[in-house]
Amino acid sequence: MLEIHPVKAFNDNYLWIFKDSESLNACIVDPGDATPVIAYLKKENLSLSAILLTHHHADHIGGVNDLLALKDVPVYGPQSSYIPQVTKPLFEGDVVNLANTNFSVLEIPGHTLDHIAYYADTTSNTNNEIPVLFCGDTLFAGGCGRIFEGTAEMMYGSLQKLAALDPQTQVFCAHEYTLSNLAFAAAVAPEDSALQQRIQQEQAKRKNDIPTVPTSIELELRTNPFLRCSEESIVENFPEKAEQPVAIFAALRQWKDGF
Give the Cα separation of 225 and 210 in Å (integer): 24
Determine the pLDDT at residue 67: 98
Give the Cα separation of 169 and 181 in Å (integer): 20
Query: At 170, phi and psi to the nearest 5?
Result: -85, 125
pTM for the predicted model, two decimal places: 0.97
Q: In what order do the strands lie in the sheet with 88-90?
A: 2-9, 13-20, 25-29, 47-52, 75-78, 88-90
Determine the pLDDT at residue 123: 82
Where residue 129 falls among pLDDT bands split at 50, 70, 90? confident
- The 8-class DSSP code of residue 114 comes to T
SS3 (DSSP) at 135: strand
For the chain, the domains span 2-257
Q: In what order do the strands lie in the sheet with 215-216?
A: 95-98, 101-107, 116-120, 132-136, 170-173, 215-216
The residues annotated with a catalytic role in the active site are 55, 57, 59-60, 111, 137, 175
What sign does the dihedral 235-237-242-244 (CA atoms) show? Answer: negative
What fold does the segment set 2-257 form as a domain?
A: Metallo-beta-lactamase; Chain A (3.60.15)
Mean pLDDT value of segment 49-64: 98
Q: What is the pLDDT of residues 166-212, one digit of tens each?
A: 999 999 999 999 999 999 999 999 999 999 999 999 999 999 999 99
Where residue 125 falls among pLDDT bands split at 50, 70, 90? confident
